[in-house]
Amino acid sequence: NAGVTQTPKFQVLKTGQSMTLQCAQDMNHEYMSWYRQDPGMGLRLIHYSVGAGITDQGEVPNGYNVSRSTTEDFPLRLLSAAPSQTSVYFCASSYSKKGGRSSLYEQYFGPGTRLTVT
Partner 1 sequence: GDSVTQMEGPVTLSEEAFLTINCTYTATGYPSLFWYVQYPGEGLQLLLKATKADDKGSNKGFEATYRKETTSFHLEKGSVQVSDSAVYFCALRRGGATNKLIFGTGTLLAVQP
Residues that bind partner 1 (CB under 8 A): 4, 31, 33, 35, 40-45, 48, 50, 56, 58, 90, 92, 94, 96-97, 102, 105-107, 109-112
CB nearer to partner 1: pick between 79 and 106: 106
Least distance (Å) from partner 1 to the CB of residue 104?
A: 9
Burial class, 106, CB count within 10 angstroms (exposed 0-12 / middle 13-18 / buried 19+): exposed
CB nearer to partner 1: pick between 27 and 43: 43
